[in-house]
Structure 1
Amino acid sequence: MGPGMSAVIDTGRPAGVFTCLTTAVKDHIGYIRLQSGEQNAFNDRSLEEIIAAHDLMEKDPDVWGVIFTSANETVFSTGLDAGFMLSLAREQKLDMFRLLFAATRRIYAFAKPELVLLPGHAFAAGAVLAMAADWRFMAEGKGRMAFPEVMLGISMPEAMIRMIASQVGEHNMSALIQTGDMFKAEDCLRYGVVNELVPPAELQTHGEKFMRRLFLKPLAGIRAVKRNLRRENLKFFDNDPSLDAFVELMGENFEEALRAGVEGRRPKFQNP
């Protein structure tokens, strides 16, 4: 058990068969912890499990709120698994993006309050899923966040852009998603990507205290405010025409970015 990871009692409730994450419940807090290799990189199974885990937590009346985090002390998730993506045919790659879109929507539409604890890096799809929750606390130190879709030669769908803008403000969006740059924890706080920076050893206990304070308030009101805040953006998740742009953008630069990620080198892009 890593720094800041307090003991969580498994209630013994049926939790489905998860191989890429774990679920548990303690004191009305539901826990979803990613544990899929050193980087928690996403394949189809891990994204499906994230959706299923949120379904499980939403249906459980004993769960009043959720903490979504990682069992890895240095990484939340580095995003889609580049090697897995390279192995897929074009239509299968598109299916993966559709699944990522569905997982993002599932978290964004989650009825109960949800806090993401970031012990370390959150890149690409990992950063996007984190932004779908209500709050994000990040460990102080070397952790980074990035929205590098532009470095893959693709664009984040409009629904995701609107979702992130609603959290950080329109004025920060160009810096965050148009450059593909990586941001230190302090920059993430400055841009509003995370709500708090916490010493690593205190991350989970601090998150649990935050949730317990929420539980002292009328949860029906908290859920109603969440629904109202997200209602308009959810309409874009249900009908986002920009998803079709992936077909046009998934060209050689996208494949080169995936190969470079697998080979651990800088990509060599071809520009007009």
Structure 2
Amino acid sequence: MSISVDIQNDVALITMDDGKANAVNFDLMIALNEALDKAEADAKAIVLTGREGRFSGGFDLGMMSGFTREDSVRLLDRASELVLRLYGGPMPVVGACNGHAIAMGVFLLMACDTRIGAAGDFKLGANESITGMTLPVFAVELARDRLSPLHQTRAMIQAFIYDPKGAVEAGYLDMLVEPDKVIGQATAIAGQLAKLPGHAYAYQKSAMRKPALDAIRASIGNHPNLRKLA
């Protein structure tokens, strides 16, 4: 997994690029947390993006093929902690979705404060009801907070996969731009957010999202409804 960090004008551009689907596994989460460490130390806002055409395809199914229940618990705990860091962390985070975002990929996108998407033939959504997996607590809480109530059943229970225009309507994205403008637009917004007083931004973010953040924290190490992820 290759994750790069480029800091300019108080904005840290974190790019995920494994040359394939940017599958979420333990290595990616370790590398992403290290990138966030650097961003939090040296910048005032973050842009999180993927490779061309692909934000993230979700959990690494190849890695999970031999998982025990204990392995699945450990993966969900690390994913929950990463969501907490993005969704509840003090810094502004702008998601630059330059392609597909599926399952855990779309949840990472939803954990960003502002989400810019690429117009085009891309798919975004949660497919857990199709693959037979149960939604983790962080997915349920993000959906309650971020998706339009009119789309929550269709998106989370019925596993509808949206195109970018539909993803804006549903609440997965905040706006669309042409693919070659995604990074520029996200960086410009992050630059504006970086100028806000950091202590106030951090407090408002934590206070507004407290019910969801508390529920996600309480779920770590506690997954009574979990079946093996693969």
The answer to whether the Cα contact below 8 Å between 1:54 and 1:110 also exists between their aligned partners in 2 is: no
The code of the aligned residue for 1:198 comes to V
Instruction: Give SS of 1:112's match.
Output: coil
> Closer, same or farther in 2 for the Cα pair 1:159/1:201, shift >3 Å?
closer
Tell me how far apart the structure 2 counterparts of residues 163 and 223 of structure 1 sit (CA, whole Å).
Answer: 18
The code of the aligned residue for 1:196 comes to M
234, 240, 258: which one pairs with 2:219? 240
- Greater RCO (Cα-Cα under 8 Å, separation 6 or more): 2
216, 229, 232: which one pairs with 2:208? 229
Q: What is aligned with 2:10?
A: 28
30, 35, 39: which one pairs with 1:57? 39
- Report deviation, 1:135: 1.1
Per-residue Cα deviation, 1:108-141 (whole angstroms, up to 9, x for no partner): 1221000000000000111111111101100000
Tell me how far apart the structure 2 counterparts of residues 219 and 239 of structure 1 sit (CA, whole Å).
Answer: 27
Alignment of 1:1-272 (within 5 A): 19-58=1-40, 60=41, 62-70=42-50, 72-240=51-219, 243-246=223-226, 249-250=227-228, 255=230
> Closer, same or farther in 2 for the Cα pair 1:37/1:244, shift >3 Å?
farther
Tell me how far apart the structure 1 counterparts of residues 66 and 19 of structure 2 sit (CA, whole Å).
Answer: 18
Larger radius of gyration: 1
Tell me how far apart the structure 2 counterparts of residues 150 and 78 of structure 1 sit (CA, whole Å).
Answer: 16
- Report deviation, 1:152: 2.5
- Report deviation, 1:46: 0.7
- Report deviation, 1:91: 2.2
The code of the aligned residue for 2:205 comes to K
The answer to whether the Cα contact below 8 Å between 2:106 and 2:172 also exists between their aligned partners in 1 is: no
Moved more, 216-225 or 81-90: 216-225
The code of the aligned residue for 1:158 comes to V
Tell me how far apart the structure 2 counterparts of residues 204 and 90 of structure 1 sit (CA, whole Å).
Answer: 38
- Report deviation, 1:77: 0.6
- Report deviation, 1:99: 1.8
How many correspondences in the alignment?
Answer: 229
Tell me how far apart the structure 2 counterparts of residues 158 and 97 of structure 1 sit (CA, whole Å).
Answer: 9
TM-score (norm 2): 0.91
Tell me how far apart the structure 1 counterparts of residues 98 and 37 of structure 2 sit (CA, whole Å).
Answer: 24
The answer to whether the Cα contact below 8 Å between 1:48 and 1:103 also exists between their aligned partners in 2 is: no
The code of the aligned residue for 1:78 comes to G
The code of the aligned residue for 1:229 comes to M
Gaps of 5+ in 1: 1-18, 256-272
TM-score (norm 1): 0.78
Per-residue Cα deviation, 1:198-240 (whole angstroms, up to 9, x for no partner): 1111111111221222234434332222121122211111212
- Report deviation, 1:29: 0.1
Aligned residues with identical type, % of pairs: 20
> Closer, same or farther in 2 for the Cα pair 1:239/1:55, shift >3 Å?
same
- Report deviation, 1:97: 2.2
CA RMSD of aligned residues (A): 1.9
Per-residue Cα deviation, 1:10-36 (whole angstroms, up to 9, x for no partner): xxxxxxxxx431112111001111011
Tell me how far apart the structure 2 counterparts of residues 90 and 237 of structure 1 sit (CA, whole Å).
Answer: 19
The answer to whether the Cα contact below 8 Å between 1:20 and 1:45 also exists between their aligned partners in 2 is: no
Gaps of 5+ in 2: none
Moved more, 166-175 or 194-203: 166-175
